[in-house]
Amino acid sequence: MMIDDPLRQEDDLRDVQAEERSRGTRRRKLDTKEKNRAARLRQDILRAYRGGDEVGFKIALLAAGWQEDSTEFGAALKKFRDAVSRRPTR
């Protein structure tokens, strides 16, 4: 079927392209375990920060799978110490 009207042909083409783009978008399944782990890590770190608890901070990172001898662990611990030392006293 040929459409003689070029404007209508462009509209139809845009409709088809939009339909094809929408077919390609898929939602990933929500990984609730990972989401809960991340939320738990945030809570544990916040609790450790508020209490100035360096041991609690270390435990939270280790429970999240961080390696104590990694450079990332050391950098995170340094940032924690800096943040706690700058925290206003009450």
Per-residue pLDDT reduced to its tens digit, 31-56 = 788 888 899 999 999 999 999 999 99
Residue 3 pLDDT more than 60?
no
Q: Where are the domains of the chain?
A: 32-86
Percentage above 70 pLDDT, the chain = 83
Question: CB neighbours of 41 closer than 8 A, spacing ≥ 6?
Answer: 60, 63, 64
Whether residue 15 is predicted with pLDDT greater than 70 in this model: the reply is yes
The 3-state DSSP class for residue 49 equals helix
pTM over 0.75: no
Q: Which two tokens stand for residue 43?
A: 């809570």
pLDDT, residue 8, reads 77
